[in-house]
Amino acid sequence: MTPKSLFNIILKISGLFFLKEIILMIPRLISAVWILSGQGDTGNNQFYSNDIFDFILFFTILIIYCFLVYQLLFNTNYIISKLKLDKGFEQENFSFNISSNSILNIALIVTACVILFEEIPSFCQGIINIILVKKITPNIQNPGFSNLVFSAVKIILALLLTGERKRIINWIEKRKTAQHNENTE
């Protein structure tokens, strides 16, 4: 394994972790849109400049994360060459015998496990909170299902990430070879 391929793998793993952050950020963005649209209020439909500023800031961060994920997953050779990460090594090859597919496979599993470890307790806590709210105030219309739904969606996405990791890896590798072919032409 050359230094360039090692940094290529490290950057792709970093991209997958940023992708995890995007997945975790989307429910917050949906909540912000819900609140700003006036649906989440208790009859108070006033827009505050702080709320709009927070939404714009949050959306800007989401766009930056999407850009970083794209760059880290599909333009790693460009990043490596611009930052000269593969220069200055005394030995040309490292003695790792792990394929990039195996590394990406491990990274997807670890990412999905991190999401599951964060969201299963949150999902269980949400169920307990709904049960307690229903017992304390039985005539409440909406006991807070939104957090429970978002946790369930994150759990499903993490399970899909583990179940469909071969397709994800094939897609990343296909994009990598297509981009490599474009650069060589």
Q: What is the pTM of this model?
A: 0.53
User: CB burial class (10 A; 0-12, 13-18, 19+) of residue 84?
Assistant: exposed
Q: Amino acid letter at 183?
A: N
> Within 10 A of 51 (CB to CB), how many other CB atoms are there?
13
| pLDDT tens, N- to C-terminus, the chain (185 residues) | 777 887 888 888 888 878 887 887 787 777 767 766 665 544 555 555 666 776 777 778 788 888 988 998 999 899 888 888 777 666 677 666 677 777 888 788 888 888 888 888 788 878 877 777 777 776 766 666 788 888 899 999 999 988 888 898 888 888 888 887 887 76
